A and B are shown apart, each in its own frame.
Chain A
Amino acid sequence: MTKVSAAKSAAKRKKQLVPYFFIAPHLLLFLIFFLIPMFYGIYASFTKWDLFGSPQWVGLKNYATIFTNQESTFYRQFWNGLKNTVIFVLICVPFQILIPLTIAILLDKRPKGRNIFQGIFYMPTLFSITSVTLTWLFIFNRSLGLFNHLFGTDVNWYGEQPYAWMTIVITTLWWGLGGNLIIYVAALSGIDRSILEAAALDGASGLKKFWHIIIPSIKFPLTYTIIISIISQFNIYGQPLMITGGGPNESTYVLLMYIRNLAFGTGKSVAGMASAMSTCLGLLIGVVSVFQLILMNRKED
């Protein structure tokens, strides 16, 4: 009797351990390669650190430098990088919503070759940023590029503002509108046709239908795409690096480029300062991410 129950409870205990066996590999990887580096990065932001020696605790000194010391190059780099990153997000995100939404509405009219069109617009999303920038390199190149030859212009796309931003934004949009497009296409196809038809029969104009039926029905996917687009564009790095090199006059030099150079550049690493900057950028993106999390959980309920 006791033997049986002992065996039973041993089996039960073993059974209770099974779920942990399923989650253990990922939890371990998450701990080692996400959580520890994250907290270490925050810790490093309070230190003076050259990446190879041990970090020296300096308290809030790094933050004080980048927030208040106007003489410091770190101050200038941080604010210039942050400003340029924010400028990019502000220009890029509205287009990254509106253009895919327009295409999705057109696709929703059931034109011929619908899937082919969707494929064409989505495909660049799968290309790497380096191949995308190389692809566009000889479109906007001043003397060798297609654009200036085709239209007889002599625009210095990479070397002058606002053209430098235009090139970066156009390249980014071409690269990244596919994800949002597919979300909108799916969302629009979920709208009840009869409502739209009834509205059309009642004489509602296209614009009216857009504002009063389409937008409210895709409110959730719309909010979702706005949030993920903001998050992804805050991480901008490859486009300015490859297209303009941060120029002209560091006007497209984004924060991640400075962070990368400070930590892994050619000179002596100032990883502590770079960590302080990335913690600030991380906090900024983190605030947006929290909205995403709230949204996802609300949807799940």
Chain B
Amino acid sequence: MGKKQKKEADYQEAAHCSAKVSWTAFAILCVMAFIALVPLLWIFISSFKVEAEVIQAGGFLYLPKTWTLDNFKSLLSFSNKQLPVYYWFVNSVIVSGATTVLAVIIYSMSAYAYAKLDFKGRNVIFLTIMFLSSFPAITNIIPLYKMMHSFGWLNQLIALIVPGLAGVSNIFLIRQFMMAIPDVILESARIDGAGEVQIFRKIILPNCKPILIAVGLFTFTGSWNDFLWPSIAINNLDRLTLTAGLQLAKGVYSNKVPQMSAIATVAIIPMIILYLFTQKYFVRGISLSSGVKG
């Protein structure tokens, strides 16, 4: 009896302690999260400032005196020839969208074959491409540029789409996911006379939705944020992507705080919106890719 009471008291103490611990954690996290948000808050606030007022205040203002949308208006207008943000945005959507759709189709086809079909050389081919792809793509960029040149793809958006479809790690991810689908289902579909293409479309793809969405998101953000390659392959101002084009902002706006803040804000907001709608898929996808179970 006494022993039981003591144990209960222990548990209560532990529970009390854990409540205290979770409040301490909450407080520390609040501070850290605030620090992490400061740069974002700062560009959001600064993007509404009036350039002349900032200069008048000696180059620094905590809050805008007058809140204005002019920085966004001039930045996003079609007549902004130095920084055609509008074109860059459309280019980025085309490049990232096309890369994502094609990648998900091509990668899931490959993954299906490596996971579920029996064929000569399956493991050898898969292990070989896994091994080769682990070598960094740095040596590739110079010859790839030459290749784009000879294909006539330089300064074309296709140069930003097609080379991005050669990755292997996402195939590995999808394959892992597909291997968990029981063979019995596929076998019974085969006995019912379904062809591999049908099985792939009707059984495999619907069952792999979470990983396909995750891979799609990784591909989309990876392509959207790619910097080195677009800045090499594209010289034409109107054909740049948003990520590569932003590099030029510093040269145009130099120390104009409101304008620079506005362009940073414009670049960041699409990703924030995307994230708000897809958070759980990102989280799940990363857990899957690292092999820990979420």
A interface with B by C-beta (< 8 Å)? 16, 18-20, 22-23, 25-27, 29-30, 32-38, 40-42, 44-45, 51-52, 103, 106-107, 109-113, 115, 117-124, 126-131, 134-139, 141, 143-144, 146, 149, 174, 179, 182-183, 186-187, 189-190, 197, 200-201, 218, 220-221, 224-225, 231, 234-235, 237-238, 241-242, 256, 259-260, 263-264, 271, 274-275, 278-279, 281-282, 285-286, 289-290, 292-293, 296, 299-300
Rounded to whole angstroms, the CA-CA distance of A281 and B135 in the bound complex is 11
Minimum CB–CB distance from B61 to chain A (whole Å) comes to: 10
Minimum CB–CB distance from B5 to chain A (whole Å) comes to: 15
Rounded to whole angstroms, the CA-CA distance of A107 and B18 in the bound complex is 13
17 contacts between A and B (CB under 8 A): A19-B122, A22-B109, A22-B196, A23-B125, A27-B129, A40-B146, A44-B142, A122-B283, A126-B221, A126-B282, A128-B246, A130-B227, A144-B59, A182-B282, A183-B287, A186-B292, A231-B136
Interface pair A190/B293, CB less than 8 Å apart: yes
Neighbour of B260 across the interface among A107, A109, A137, A271, CB < 8 A = A137
Residues on A with C-beta less than 8 A from B268 are 127, 131, 135
Minimum CB–CB distance from B218 to chain A (whole Å) comes to: 10
Interface pair A33/B162, CB less than 8 Å apart: yes
Minimum CB distance partner of B293 in chain A? A190
- Give 15 A-B pairs besides A18-B197, A256-B138 with Cβ atoms closer than 8 angstroms: A25-B109, A26-B171, A29-B165, A33-B144, A37-B140, A51-B146, A52-B149, A111-B29, A117-B29, A127-B267, A182-B287, A183-B287, A234-B136, A241-B247, A274-B142
B interface with A by C-beta (< 8 Å)? 10, 14, 17-18, 21-26, 28-29, 32-33, 36-40, 42-43, 46, 59-60, 106-107, 109-110, 112-114, 117-120, 122, 125, 129-147, 149, 162-163, 165-166, 168, 171-172, 176, 195-197, 200, 221, 224-225, 227-228, 232, 242-244, 246-247, 249-250, 255, 257, 260-261, 263-264, 267-268, 271-272, 274-275, 279, 282-283, 286-287, 290-294
Minimum CB distance partner of B247 in chain A? A130
Residues on A with C-beta less than 8 A from B292 are 183, 186-187, 190, 218, 220-221
Residues on A with C-beta less than 8 A from B136 are 231, 234-235, 281-282, 285-286, 289
Residues on B with C-beta less than 8 A from A221 are 290-292
Minimum CB distance partner of B43 in chain A? A135
Rounded to whole angstroms, the CA-CA distance of A260 and B230 in the bound complex is 13
Rounded to whole angstroms, the CA-CA distance of A148 and B191 in the bound complex is 73
Rounded to whole angstroms, the CA-CA distance of A56 and B22 in the bound complex is 66
Interface pair A128/B243, CB less than 8 Å apart: yes
Interface pair B291/A282, CB less than 8 Å apart: no
Minimum CB–CB distance from B12 to chain A (whole Å) comes to: 12
Rounded to whole angstroms, the CA-CA distance of A122 and B261 in the bound complex is 21
Minimum CB distance partner of B176 in chain A? A300
Interface pair A128/B228, CB less than 8 Å apart: no
Interface pair A34/B22, CB less than 8 Å apart: no
Q: Is the interface of B mostly helix, strand, loop or mixed?
A: helix
Interface pair A126/B271, CB less than 8 Å apart: yes
Interface pair A289/B134, CB less than 8 Å apart: yes
Interface pair B42/A18, CB less than 8 Å apart: no
Residues on B with C-beta less than 8 A from A220 are 291-292
Interface pair B166/A174, CB less than 8 Å apart: no
Residues on B with C-beta less than 8 A from A234 are 136
Rounded to whole angstroms, the CA-CA distance of A126 and B294 in the bound complex is 20
Q: What are the nearest 6 A-B pairs in CB distance?
A: A41-B139, A131-B267, A111-B26, A130-B246, A22-B113, A19-B119
Neighbour of B143 across the interface among A36, A238, A259, A293, CB < 8 A = A36
Rounded to whole angstroms, the CA-CA distance of A286 and B32 in the bound complex is 35
Minimum CB–CB distance from B24 to chain A (whole Å) comes to: 8
Residues on A with C-beta less than 8 A from B122 are 19
Minimum CB–CB distance from A48 to chain B (whole Å) comes to: 14
Residues on B with C-beta less than 8 A from A30 are 129, 133, 166, 168
Neighbour of A293 across the interface among B110, B130, B267, CB < 8 A = B130
Interface pair A29/B162, CB less than 8 Å apart: yes
Interface pair A103/B163, CB less than 8 Å apart: no
